[in-house]
């Protein structure tokens, strides 16, 4: 059953009550609930994950409410140290909900692996020969992950590029396109590229250097769209048209200026990274892909787009590469990531990418709305004051101001 993610007053509850509601909603077992309450990654588990482990570094895990995406409600786990992000996402999701929610879509989960070939006598001839042997090379790539092939994934295409000049001379770059289904796919793609390399050398007569995936996963894009009627955006002294107009004006700077675009996109990634960390994704890969995609025209620009349509609705869209997985990696090892995925309830990597795109767009909307109207410092400073008070030893229920009060209402 698709239960509503509208949880009015959720933010006013104590931590344990909030956790109890989420546990009940997500059908968490007692031990899964205990993971939320601090019995997460053990030192012994951590010791298996990376090198030279000396401890555990924890982050707050919050739940963004109000999300309606493709007609389905989601409670969104977000792991992040920054105040206002969870509140901002929840608040924006409530506005978007009133316009019908987010529409999200995604490409097939196809990753790109690169094989770099140097010392090729005739790069164009080598390119033709590689393409002539494409189906054999794809078959060879498929043999490296028969499980994934049996699940419907596998090698999809081979693209060959020639870089005519570089400081080390011309080079041929082979792109292996590999459908990774519900995995992020780094290991699969790297293994396939390494397996193809000797054949690529035989065919081209060249010397392979790199065999590695590209984080510019532009075959694996996710998109989100929202449309918000102007009256939904009105607040205090600001009417809805003014808020929409100012959001578009704010966006226009990001669209035209890399200095603003960097900050604008950082706000989008506040949301995406927080879900990525909560669910055990490689957030550095997502960051690399997002910013490379934002610069794909040769000029770094906004990842989102905002306009007002003929009916006066504020329309926002976001598109970016989102190479995420729900099998393999930390998403299946880290106990809290497993619980976070259960709370989110996604069943495919594509669904996770679509949710993350919607969260990124919500985060962008929350930031632009605040920046273009009352400014963000009001909400930020009240939350900051709370952190300072906690650092100084304060406990109990501390007031945190208007931004936060808007969250669950
Ligand atoms: C702060 O973490 C994020 C913002 O700077 C984003 C933006 O300016 O759009 C508020």
**Can you read off the two tokens belonging to residue 353?**
């990418």
**Can you read off the two tokens belonging to residue 398?**
């501390």
Q: What angle do CA 31, 33, 37 make, to 5 degrees?
A: 110
Burial grade of 18 (CB within 10 A; 0-12, 13-18, 19 or more): middle
Q: Is 266 in the pocket of ligand 1 (CB under 6 A)?
A: yes
DSSP 71: T
Catalytic residue list: 82, 266, 282, 380
Give the pLDDT confidence score for residue 376 in this predicted structure.
82
- 271: phi then psi, degrees, rounded to nearest 5: -75, -45
Give the pLDDT confidence score for residue 380 in this predicted structure.
65
Mapped onto helix, strand or coil, the DSSP state of residue 406 is coil
Question: If you measure from the C-alpha of residue 85 to the centroid of ligand 1, how many angstroms do you get, rounded to a whole number?
Answer: 9
Give the pLDDT confidence score for residue 397 in this predicted structure.
46
pLDDT tens digits, residue range 55-101? 999 999 999 999 999 999 999 999 999 999 999 999 999 999 999 99
Q: Is 304 in the pocket of ligand 1 (CB under 6 A)?
A: no
Q: Where are the alpha helices (DSSP H) in 52-167?
A: 85-98, 123-132, 134-142, 146-150
Q: Which residue, by CA, sits nearest to atom 4 of ligand 1?
A: 267
pLDDT tens digits, residue range 363-373? 999 999 999 99
DSSP 192: H
**Can you read off the two tokens belonging to residue 38?**
């601090």
Q: What is the mean pLDDT of the chain?
A: 93
250: left (phi over 0), alpha (psi -120 to 50) or beta: alpha
Is 394 or 23 the better-scoring residue by pLDDT? 23
**Can you read off the two tokens belonging to residue 287?**
């960051």
Q: Which of 228-242, 273-287, 290-304, 394-408 has the lowest mean pLDDT?
A: 394-408
Nearest-atom number in ligand 1 for the CA of 267 is 6
Q: Is 103 in the pocket of ligand 1 (CB under 6 A)?
A: no
CA dist 292 and 354 (Å) reads 19
Nearest-atom number in ligand 1 for the CA of 260 is 8
Q: Is the pLDDT of residue 394 over 70?
A: no
Q: Which of 25-29, 35-39, 68-72, 79-83 has the lowest mean pLDDT?
A: 35-39
Question: If you measure from the C-alpha of residue 293 to the centroid of ligand 1, how many angstroms do you get, rounded to a whole number?
Answer: 19
Ligand 1: residue of 263, 294, 381 to mutate (most ligand atoms within 8 A of CB) is: 263
CA dist 206 and 262 (Å) reads 39
Q: Which residue, by CA, sits nearest to atom 2 of ligand 1?
A: 267
Q: Is the pLDDT of residue 385 over 80?
A: no
Domain 110-214 has CATH 3.30.230.10: no
Question: If you measure from the C-alpha of residue 263 to the centroid of ligand 1, how many angstroms do you get, rounded to a whole number?
Answer: 6
Question: Rounded mean pLDDT of 42-66?
Answer: 96
Question: If you measure from the C-alpha of residue 274 to the centroid of ligand 1, how many angstroms do you get, rounded to a whole number?
Answer: 14
CA dist 269 and 267 (Å) reads 5
Q: Considering the entire predicted model, what is its pTM?
A: 0.94
DSSP 309: -
List the domain boundaries for the chain: 10-106+222-378, 110-214
Burial grade of 281 (CB within 10 A; 0-12, 13-18, 19 or more): buried
Assigned CATH topology for domain 10-106+222-378:
3.90.770
Is 329 or 235 the better-scoring residue by pLDDT? 235
Give the pLDDT confidence score for residue 409 in this predicted structure.
34
């Amino acid at each position: 059953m698709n239960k509503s993610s509208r949880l009015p007053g959720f933010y006013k509850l104590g931590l344990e009550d909030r956790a109890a509601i989420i546990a009940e909603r997500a059908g968490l077992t007692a031990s899964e609930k205990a993971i939320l309450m601090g019995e997460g990654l053990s030192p012994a588990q951590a010791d298996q994950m990376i090198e030279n482990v000396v401890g555990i570094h924890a982050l707050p895990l919050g739940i963004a409410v109000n999300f309606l995406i493709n007609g389905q409600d989601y409670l969104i786990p977000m792991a992040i140290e920054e105040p206002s992000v969870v509140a901002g996402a929840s608040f924006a999701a409530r506005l978007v909900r009133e316009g019908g929610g987010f529409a999200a879509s995604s490409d097939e989960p196809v990753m790109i692996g690169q094989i770099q070939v140097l010392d090729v006598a005739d790069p164009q001839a080598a390119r033709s020969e590689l393409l002539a042997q494409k189906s054999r090379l794809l078959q060879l790539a498929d043999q490296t992950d028969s499980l994934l092939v049996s699940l419907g994934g596998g090698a999809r295409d081979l693209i060959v590029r020639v870089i005519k000049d570089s400081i080390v001379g011309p080079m041929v770059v082979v792109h292996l396109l590999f459908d990774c289904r519900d995995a992020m796919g780094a290991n699969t793609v790297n293994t396939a590229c390494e397996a193809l390399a000797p054949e690529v050398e035989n065919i081209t007569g060249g010397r392979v250097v790199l065999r590695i995936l590209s984080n510019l996963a532009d075959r694996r894009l996710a998109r989100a769209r929202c449309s918000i009627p102007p009256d939904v955006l009105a607040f205090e002294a600001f009417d809805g048209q003014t808020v929409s107009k100012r959001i578009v004006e704010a966006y226009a700077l990001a669209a035209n200026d890399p200095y603003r675009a960097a900050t604008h996109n950082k706000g989008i990634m506040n949301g995406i990274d927080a879900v990525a960390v909560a669910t055990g994704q490689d957030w550095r890969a997502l960051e690399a892909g997002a910013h490379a995609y934002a610069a794909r025209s040769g000029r770094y620009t906004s990842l989102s787009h905002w306009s007002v349509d003929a009916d006066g609705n504020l329309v926002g869209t976001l598109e970016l590469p989102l190479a995420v997985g729900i099998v393999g990696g930390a998403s299946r090892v880290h106990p809290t990531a497993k619980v976070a995925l259960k709370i989110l309830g996604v069943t495919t990597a594509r669904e996770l990418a679509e949710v993350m795109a919607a969260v990124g767009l919500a985060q962008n909307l929350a930031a632009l709305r605040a920046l273009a109207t009352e400014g963000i410092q009001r909400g930020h400073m009240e939350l900051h004051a709370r952190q300072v008070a906690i650092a100084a030893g304060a406990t109990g229920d501390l007031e945190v101001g208007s931004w936060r009060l808007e969250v669950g209402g």
